Amino acid sequence: MNLTPEQVERYSRQIILEEVGLRGQEKLLAGSVLIVGVGGLGSPAAFYLAAAGVGRIGLVDFDRVEVNNLQRQIIHTTADVNRLKIESAADKMRAVNPDVEVRTYEKAFAAENALELLTDYDFVIDGTDNFSAKFLINDACYFARKPFSHAGILRFEGQTITVLPGQSTCYRCIFREAPPAGAVPSCAQAGVLGVLGGTLGVIQATEALKYLLGCGELLIDNLLFYSSKEMSFHKIKTNRDADCPICGDNPTITALRDEAQIICPTRGEDSDASP
Amino acid sequence: MKLKQTYRIPENVHLETQQHKQEIGRYLSGELSEEVFRSRRVPRGIYEQRQKGLYMLRTRIPGGFLWAAQAHRLADLSQRYAGGNIHFTTRQDAQFHDVEIAATHKIMESLLEVGLTPLGGGGNTVRNITTCAHAGIFPGETFDTLPYVLALTDYLLPLKSSYNLPRKFKIAFSCCRADEAMAAVNDLGFVAQIKGGEKGFAVYLGGGMGTNSRVSDLVTPFLPAKDVLRMAEAVMRVYVRHGDRRNRQRARLRFAIERIGVEEFHSELEQELQKVFAEGIPDTLPVDLEKSETGPLQHSGEARGSSASGYDAWMQNYVQQQKQAGLFYAHIPLYRGDLPADDLHRLAELAEQYAGSQLRVDRRQNLLLPDIPSGHLPSVYGELRKLAVDACGPEGEPWMVSCKGAATCSLGVCRSQDLNTAISKAVALAGIPAQLVRELGIHTSGCPNNCGQHAMAKLGFIGGARRAENRSYPIYNVVVGGGYDGEGRFRLSRDVARIPARNIPPFTVELLKDYLSSEAYGEGFQSYWQSGGEKTVLRLAASFSEVPAYSELPDFYRDWGDDEPFSLAGRSQGECGAGVFELIAEELKKSEAFFARAAEVPSGSNENLLRATATAAGSLLVTRGIEPGNPDMALKEFERHFIDTALAGEEHRDLLVLARAELRRPHGELATRSTAVRGFLDEVQSLYDQMDASLNFPVKSERPSGPSENGRAAQELNLTGVACPMNFVHAKIALEQLEIGDILDVILDKGEPVENVPASFREQGQEVLEVKPDGNDNFRVRIRRLK
């Protein structure tokens, strides 16, 4: 692959990096990332991955932009209200970087289409806001052996972990299954500081870039907690669980299924990519 | 603490001790995996026990010689960290059991203060060098061999090669005929000889007792004593060259000798010896301990009598006159080699107060108390009676040898120590004198690994297991007839029968009775064996071989000393010699299995070729201290550490890149590249084959090494007029398109560009060969791609 002079110029500040260089940039341009949910987390991730020159980025979401999204879903503008989020986001990404092929999927990420959606991508970013979608992404990525970055945000806190399915601790190793409805405050009850999506979403994008480049240490087997109030990061060491229902020694989950959804009560309150 | 120095503790032993401390921390924090940590701790004499999380630490005691102060320290450490018990081994080591991993380094550090170390206590190392416990004091010895043991220990301890041999390496010295057999079952044996008034050794090579026991070959009937270091050095070098590190079961010296032939091996050794002489390896300077300030106290005639009860029996059974007139040594029989720390303290005090301030560990796992002046014998007897162990008792068990057996050893099948106890009791109950047990010196091993030295036994037992009615039961193979024939030849014991564990004690009783009543009694067991004893053994064995049904006699399905039904659960692969070579060999085996499966199952071909590639790539990373957490990292790190450094061929880079792409998104492309995968596996295997003891690899000779000689003609890139940092970006892209080793000339503007660009390349690990003016205020910068 030969870079055009425009590309050399565009990516020069990362080509300079010892770990990137020409080869690294080529890897990024040949790489692909699927972003499930173009909301608080997905917006900044999509922006930065497009800017960095990730060759193909897929966006999965069927929601439309609402005014209350704009406080944190920074890829959308006031003029985009009522547009499909995937279209609003794709426009901005293409405007930032015409090198990037943006594919849009106006659908829910569901058991019936999950594996098909993952097929064409190297890495997955979970930008969803509900447990059922997060477990579905974990399970689908396990079956497809796709690495993914999980993140969640609530009030002033966020958490994230990267999963290499079958090799590192998975989401179910840690959380097993979705909590019963009402056990965890929803976004509507708790609210969220808009910048949280930026902090965590950009960490997810960072993991995607590191994975594509093959440099640094991925955030595997460590759950990272961020507290914006304390302005602190804590890494908690995690281990694969031999009893994990999906990646353990005797898995009980052998096929994908949609779990009863634990809803973030007001639909459209945050991006929602599950049914 | 002031100690007469026996051998020096070199710097590397201190460093290794420090490193152990750090690695415990890294292991506990999860940074070091179980496997890597094991490969580090085992050569330090630290093994995990059958009980998970508890460790055994084995410290070497060269020649079995302990100053009283050292014995006190062993006792202290055992009380603090190891449950207050010390275990002595047949190779004259001391073992701490049930130690927490965090305490192992504390023990190591503390031992260093008294000149002891567990380094080389396990793994593929030169193990403790042994000699007869009575060296220097036995009236019948040829000469004192202990000074040579210490000199050789002193020489080998600092050598890096002592810690990375193909397999463990055992050296023994015999000072007398009585112990000559041991030279036959060590890798390197020195038997003291005097020729024309000069001290020297008959040298034996390639003995060993484990599976495939072998009696050693005589290399030379007389090696002048001053050449001991040179001989050891030469043998180890030839061994390193020919040892089969890939097959742990066939890695000991004896297998190397069998493989290339005894004569061939000896002639190569002869050549190596010439080289060693030429290199100036020093003469062996015996370490003379007789000049010790804490030496013999008084030399006064005959042994003194005492009216204390049992004193005469003790004198007869346990005390022997030394070659130094007026001095005596006492055998301190231990129960299975175990001694409570309190007793060890008392023995050390005894040695200080009444004898020569020293103790010896003998190969039967008992102790010797040397240098007792005759006048002190009654006091010594009185003190010995106060010990918790029965140091003066009538039973024969102290003269029997056993390994630790299945009670603690993860390799053990049967509880060998408990069998010896049962035999000893049965024999005593039958009224057979302990003397007879002492003469035979029954040897028992809990499994075929021979830690109980059954291969040299006149009578020995090897633990095993059989099944009947779907139940396992313990069984022993009976071996007979091992030892030294008194004429320079060694015999291995022969396996003659198989008897259930429960029947071994009555079998032994009947056998001893028959021996006692035979005409051959008095001429030795060998004579009995040849004059009809063999038939008796076979007849007895047959009558004791039957295993009754479980419902009838469930005892047959339990081992001695165990209330639970007999089971092999808990037995595991041994940790002995766990090392880097084994780790790699295992991974390569897995890789080949994936490769084979790829050919067998076409539908899984891509996946299996990917696994084969990643496993092979990951296998060698342990040599670089890297633990690939996942296949992607294995491929990436292999590229960095082996291809970028030109150890492996550049042609494999594409495969690794492709494999990483397949990891991310399988396209099935590897399935069409099985030839490339085969080539890569062969490359890794060949690297492994060429890996030396220091885990280094030969650099490929065809690699370009000099800029002008081998590098291709320099490419040129004119970057005048291009500002920072874009000039560096363009130069970097141009360099990346060249092969490693190739040269790029960049023309740069003066000022900022020529100041920054070469520095940036250096920072990123490339080689800047020269920066010179190029007319027109420009500079020519010559860069070689290193990575």
Above pLDDT 90, what percent of chain A? 72
> Tokens at residue B510, please?
């009947």
B77: pLDDT strictly greater than 70: yes
Domain positions in chain B are 11-113, 145-279, 311-393, 398-557, 580-690, 715-784
Contact assessment for residue A149 and residue A140, using Cβ atoms and an 8 Å cutoff: no
Q: Tell me, what's the pLDDT at B1?
A: 42
Mean pLDDT across B551-556 = 87
Contact residues on chain B for A147, CB-CB shorter than 8 A = 664
Distance from CA of residue A222 to its chain's centroid? 17
Q: Do B636 and A168 touch (CB under 8 A)?
A: no
B664, B725, B765 ranked by CB distance to A16: nearest: B725
Spell out the SS3 assignment of A183-241. Answer: CCCCHHHHCECCHHHHHHHHHHHHHHHHHHHCCCCCCCCEEEEEECCCCEEEEEECCCC
Nearest CA to B156 among B366, B8, B313, B340?
B8
CATH class of B145-279: alpha beta
Q: Which residues from chain A sit within 8 angstroms of residue B729, using beta carbons?
A: 8, 12, 15-16
Task: Give the span between the Cα atoms of B7 and B150, in whole angstroms.
Answer: 6
User: What letter represents residue B343's amino acid?
Assistant: D
Contacts A–B by Cβ distance under 8 A: 54
Instruction: Compute the 3-state secondary structure of chain A and give helix, strand, coil in percent, each to the nearest 5.
Output: 35, 20, 45
- Integer Cα distance of B787 and B785 in angstroms: 6
Q: In this predicted model, what pLDDT tens digit does every residue of B414-435 receive, in sequence order?
A: 899 899 989 988 988 888 877 7
What confidence tier does B577 reach under pLDDT thresholds 50, 70, 90?
very low
Query: What whole-number distance in Å separates Cα of residue B38 and Cα of residue B433?
Result: 46
| Residue of B34, B627, B664, B786 to mutate when probing chain A, most A C-beta within 10 A | B664
Does residue B166 have a cis peptide bond before it, meaning omega lies within 30 degrees of 0? no
Q: pLDDT by residue (tens digit) across A223-244?
A: 999 999 999 999 999 999 989 9
> Which ipTM was obtained for this model?
0.81
Return the C-alpha torsion angle B635, B640, B646, B649, nearest 10: 20
What's the average model confidence in pLDDT over B137-160? 92
Min Cα distance A62 → chain B (Å) is 26
Hey, are the CB atoms on A23 and B629 less than 8 Å from each other? Answer: no
Average pLDDT over residues B554-574: 75
> Which pLDDT score is estimated for B576?
37
Closest CA to B366 of B634, B89, B770, B16: B89
| B126, two tokens | 């030169």
Q: Which residue in the block uniquely carries the two structure tokens 């959804």? A: A261
Question: Comparing C-alpha atoms, which of A197, A250, A264 is closest to residue A226?
Answer: A197
Instruction: Examine the pLDDT at B499 and tell me if it is beyond 60.
Output: yes
Are A161 and A223 in contact by the 8 Å Cβ rule? The answer is yes
Do B284 and B229 form a contact (C-beta atoms < 8 A)? Answer: yes
Q: Give the per-residue pLDDT at B711.
A: 42
Can you give the length of chain B in residues?
A: 787
- The whole-chain average pLDDT of chain A stands at 89
Please indicate whether, in this complex, the C-beta atoms of A168 and B630 are within 8 angstroms of each other: yes
Model confidence at B310, pLDDT cuts 50, 70, 90, reads confident
Q: Judge: domain B398-557, CATH 3.30.70.420.
A: no
Is residue B334 over pLDDT 90?
A: no
> B747 to chain A, minimum CA–CA distance in Å?
18
CA B347 to chain centre: 29
Q: Which fold has domain B715-784?
A: Translation Initiation Factor IF3 (3.30.110)
Condensed to tens digits (0 to 9), the pLDDT of residues A49-97 reads 999 999 999 999 999 999 999 999 999 999 999 999 999 999 999 999 9
Q: Quick one: which of B606, B739, B721 has its CA closest to B730?
A: B721
Q: Binning pLDDT at 50, 70 and 90, where does residue B234 land?
A: very high
What residue type is A33 in one-letter code? V
- Cα-based distances in Å from B330 to A272, B181, B319, B629, B736: 86, 23, 4, 57, 77
For B584-596, how does the pLDDT look when each residue is reduced to its tens digit (9 = 90+)?
A: 887 888 899 999 9
First to last CA, chain B: 54
Number of other CB atoms surrounding residue A137 within 10 Å: 30
Residues on chain A touching B664 (C-beta within 8 angstroms): 31, 122-123, 147, 211-212
| CA neighbours closer than 13 Å in the CB half-sphere of residue B351 | 29
Q: Which pair of structure tokens corresponds to residue A240?
A: 């694969």
CB pair distance less than 8 Å for A22 and B736: yes
Sheet with strand B171-174: strands edge to edge: B130-131, B171-174, B188-195, B198-205, B217-224
Q: What is the dihedral of CA B471, B406, B525, B130, to 10 degrees?
A: 160
Each as own residue / partner, the long-range contacts of residues B73-81 (CB below 8 Å, 24 or more positions apart, any chain) are B73/B110, B73/B111, B73/B113, B73/B114, B73/B116, B74/B116, B74/B341, B74/B344, B75/B341, B75/B342, B75/B344, B75/B345, B75/B348, B76/B110, B76/B341, B77/B107, B77/B110, B77/B111, B78/B341, B78/B344, B79/B341, B81/B106, B81/B107
Q: A185 vs chain B: nearest CA distance in angstroms?
A: 34
- Cα separation, B24 vs B334, whole angstroms: 33
pLDDT band at A263 (very low <50, low <70, confident <90, very high): very low
What's the pLDDT score for residue A228?
95
Interchain contact, A12 vs B631, CB within 8 Å: no
Range of weakest confidence among A12-21, A233-242, B33-42, B433-442: B433-442
pLDDT at B770: 85
Range with lowest mean pLDDT among B51-55, B239-243, B584-588: B584-588
Average pLDDT over residues B535-551: 89
Average pLDDT over residues B682-704: 70
Name the residue with tokens 């370490």.
B287
Q: Name residues whose C-beta falls within 8 Å of residue A92's C-beta, 6 or more positions apart in sequence.
A: A47, A50, A75
- pLDDT tens digits for B639-665? 888 888 788 888 898 899 888 888 877
Contacts of B181 by beta carbon, 8 Å cutoff, 6+ apart: B456, B482, B483, B484, B490
What pTM was computed for the model?
0.55
**Using an 8 Å Cβ cutoff, are B92 and B130 in contact?**
yes
Tell me if residue B302 falls in helix, strand or coil: coil
Nearest by Cα to A192 from A225, A219, A229: A229
* Cβ-based contacts of B636 with chain A (< 8 Å): 214
Query: What percentage of residues in chain B have a pLDDT greater than 90?
Result: 41
- What b/e readout covers B461-473, taking b as 16+ CB neighbours within 10 angstroms? bbbbbeeeeebbb
Contacts of B661 in chain A (CB under 8 A): 30
Domain B11-113 identical in fold to domain B311-393: yes
CATH number for region B311-393: 3.90.480.10
Find the DSSP H helices in B387-433.
416-429
Mutation for testing the B interface, residue in A15, A20, A235 having most B CBs under 10 Å: A15
Chain A residues at the B interface, defined by Cβ less than 8 Å, are 3, 8-9, 12-13, 15-16, 18, 21-23, 30-32, 120-123, 147, 164, 167-168, 211-212, 214, 220-221, 237
CB-closest option in A16, A21, A147 to B736: A21
Chain B residues contacting A, CB < 8 Å?
30, 629-632, 636, 660-661, 664-665, 725-726, 728-730, 732-733, 736-737, 760, 763-765
Residue B617: list chain A partners with CB under 8 A: none
Q: Which of B632, B661, B729 sits opposite A12 (nearest CB)?
A: B729
- Domains annotated for chain A, with CATH where assigned, are 21-237 (3.40.50.720)
Q: Are B647 and B697 in contact (CB under 8 A)?
A: yes
Residue B202 has pLDDT above 50, yes or no: yes
Band of residue A265 on the pLDDT scale cut at 50, 70, 90: very low
Cβ atoms of B158 and B12 within 8 Å: the answer is: yes
Helix (H) or strand (E) holding A154: strand A148-154
Mean pLDDT of the region B713-741: 86
First to last CA, chain A: 40
Query: What's the pLDDT at A188?
Result: 57
- SS3 sequence, A246-270? CCCCCCCCCCCCCCCCCCCCCCCCC
Pair B212, B254: CB distance under 8 Å: yes
Rounded CA separation B636/B661 (Å)? 11
Which of A168 and A275 is assigned the larger pLDDT?
A168
Q: Which pLDDT value is given to residue B293?
A: 40
> Which residue of chain A comes nearest to B766, CA vs CA?
A18
Q: Residue B391: what pLDDT? A: 83
In contact, A212 and A123? CB cutoff 8 Å: yes
Decide: B65 and B358 in contact? Cβ < 8 Å. Answer: yes
| Residue B377: predicted pLDDT | 92
> pLDDT above 70 covers what percent of chain B?
89
Instruction: Answer for the pair A33, A122: CB distance below 8 angstroms, yes or no.
Output: yes
Say if the Cβ atoms of A164 and B736 lie within 8 Å.
no
CA distances to A48, B128, B134, B747 from B201, rounded to whole Å, are 77, 19, 18, 72
Residue with more model confidence, B159 or B704: B159
pLDDT for A272 = 34
Task: Please state which of the ranges A105-109, B25-29, B340-344 shows the lowest mean pLDDT.
Answer: B25-29
pLDDT over 50 (residue A262): no
b/e for A5-39, b at 16 or more Cβ within 10 A? eebbebbbebbbeeebbbbbbbbbbebbbbbbbbb
pLDDT tens digits, residue range A162-182?
999 988 999 999 988 877 766
The mean of the pLDDT values for chain B is: 85
CATH dotted code for B580-690? 1.20.120
At residue B714, what are phi and psi to the nearest 5 degrees? -65, 140
Under CATH, which number does the domain B11-113 receive?
Answer: 3.90.480.20
pLDDT digit string (tens) for B148-158?
999 999 999 99
Cα of A237 to nearest chain B Cα, Å: 9
